[in-house]
Amino acid sequence: MRSAIIQGVLLFIVCYALLSIYQTTIFNLEERGIKTSTSFFDSVAPFKVGFSPFLDYELGKTTYIEIFYIGVLNTILVAVLGIVAATILGFAIGIMRSSSNWLASKFSLVYVEIFRNMPLLLQIMFWNFAIFLAFLPPPKQSLEFGVFYLNGRGLQTPLPIIENSNNFNIWLVTIFFSFIGVYFFRRWAKKRFFETGKTLPVFSLSLVFIILFTTLMFYALGGPLTIELPVLGKFNFKGGAQLPLPLFSLWFSLTIYTSAFIAENVRAGIASVSKGQIEAARSIGLSRSQMVRMVIIPQALRVIIPPTISQYLNLTKNSSLAMAVGYEEVVAVWANISLNQTGQALIIIAMTIIFFECCSLFTSFVLNIYNRRIQLSER
């Protein structure tokens, strides 16, 4: 009875507070001449968006809602690029941290402690304003990294171009089926191992199969995809794609910052595998690579993966700091510029928050699935 009253009162207070805040906000907005409605979605956005690789942008034609989509896609682009790079770098640094080489281990310790103890915003501004903008050469004298060129305008990268979209889709489907084939092959190999004890080099066989099969199909379908390399023209690059400097700086700093946290997760994961496991693996005669593959990695990954997934979410949220360098992601073009232009604070902030909440919910969803799978395989 007592708890029912407490809950009832709490429910009433919270609902009343939210409702009155909502009404006051609507009233205040109307007093400033802004009628809260979604009708501004279809009106033309009067400002320029420089970077929109996935949706066509045209000044004087693109509407506000399209600006929102551009912002979301740009956020996702930098998040994906950052996640891939931070994972590779973070694992490399984390493995180095656990290496028996003293120098390598201390080097990665210094790396981790330097980069995770400074504000990300400071790092973004440092790399962008103090280093890249100040020191990167003009396009003519670009720094060359294989097929990548870095200059004061950004990073020139090769661009895959789909020549024949029909055949390309068929190719994607065949790749998908090759993975399914590998999945069944592995199941069969595992079953055979449990029944007869005979092993097969499953991993390398699968890899060879996938590579051979996809290459074969690629040529059988007449090469539906070509890769366009950037070529230096008279003043600027022709062909390929360009990651503008703000995107490059943001990606670079996010990668370095997040990799320090991932490296720490990796180190903790490797350290969490108890010494007894390694001794037991040796005593039953596993080779070194078998031990790493079958004993250390599976147990370490259990500790590494959950916090690393949270780091991916943090990276996505941190990409909103792009504002400082002028990359056009969702907070910059939507929660800042569009908000200032239209004054539709309520809807715009709500949509921005909902986008990030979706990312967050998706992350917890993935984490929950992963945790459940781990629990099932525990005895």
Partner 1 sequence: MASNTIKFEKLPDRLPPSNTVGWMAWVKTNLFGSISNTLITLLVFYLIFLYIPPFIEWAFINANFSGSDRSVCDENKAGACWTFVKVRFDQLLFGLYFATNPDQMWRPIIAFIGFFGLLIPLMIDKTPHKKWLLITLLTIFPVFFLLIVRGGVFGIPDSDPSQWGGLLLTFTLAFVGIILALPLGILLALGRRSKMPVVKSFSIIYIEFWRGTPLITILFMASVMLPLFFPSGVEFDKVVRAMIGITLFQSAYTAEAVRGGLQAIDKGQSEASMALGMGYWQQTIFIILPQALKISIPSIVNTFIALFKDTSLVSIIGLLDLLKIAQNSSRSLDWNGYDIEAYMFAGIVFWIFCFGMSMYSQRLEKKLDTDRRE
CA distance 100 to 96: 8
Of residues 14 and 84, the one with the C-beta less far from partner 1: 14
The residues that bridge with 321 in the sheet, in sequence order, are: none
Measured CA to CA, the distance from residue 344 to residue 342 in angstroms comes to: 5
Among 3, 37, 196, 377, binds partner 1 (CB under 8 A): 3
The answer to whether 72 and 52 have CB atoms below 8 angstroms apart is no
**Per-state percent for the chain, helix, strand, coil, to nearest 5:** 70, 10, 20
134 counts as binding partner 1 under rule CB under 8 A: yes
Q: Which of 118, 147, 227, 369 binds partner 1 (CB under 8 A)?
A: 118
d(CA 191, CA 183): 12
- Asked if 161 touches partner 1 (CB under 8 A), the answer is no
Q: Is 245 in the site for partner 1 (CB under 8 A)?
A: no
Q: Annotate each residue in 338-357 with x if it binds partner 1 (CB under 8 A) or - if it does not, as one string.
A: -x-----xx--x--xx--xx
Q: Which stretch binds partner 1 (CB under 8 A): 64-72, 118-126, 169-177, 229-237?
A: 118-126
C-beta of residue 367 within 8 angstroms of C-beta of residue 96: no
Taking the complex as a whole, the smallest distance from the CB of residue 27 to partner 1 amounts, in Å, to 8
Distance, in Å, from the CA atom of 188 to the CA atom of 180, rounded to the nearest integer, reads: 13
Q: Is 216 exposed, middle or buried (0-12, 13-18, 19+ CB in 10 A)?
A: exposed
Residues from 299 through 338 that contact partner 1 (CB under 8 A): 317-318, 320-321, 323-324, 331, 335-336
Based on the shown chain and the rule CB under 8 A, indicate whether residue 29 belongs to the binding site for partner 1.
yes
Q: Between 18 and 216, name the residue whose CB sits nearer to partner 1.
A: 18
Binding flag, residue 143, partner 1 (CB under 8 A): no
Residue 359 as a binder of partner 1 (CB under 8 A): the answer is: yes
Q: Where are the alpha helices (DSSP H) in 117-244?
A: 120-125, 133-135, 165-196, 202-220
Question: What contacts 83, CB < 8 A, 6 or more positions away?
Answer: 258, 312, 315
The smaller minimum CB distance to partner 1, of residues 99 and 169, is found at: 99
Q: Would you say 40 and 348 are in contact if contact means Cβ atoms under 8 Å apart?
A: no
Distance in Å, CB of 84 to partner 1, minimum = 21
Among 19, 80, 88, 131, binds partner 1 (CB under 8 A): 131
Task: For the CB of residue 105, give the shortest distance to partner 1 in the complex, in Å.
Answer: 9
Query: Cα(119)–Cα(254) distance, rounded to whole angstroms?
Result: 11
Residues that bind partner 1 (CB under 8 A): 3, 6-8, 10-11, 14, 21, 24-25, 28-29, 31, 99-104, 107, 113-114, 117-123, 125-126, 129-131, 134, 317-318, 320-321, 323-324, 331, 335-336, 339, 345-346, 349, 352-353, 356-357, 359-361
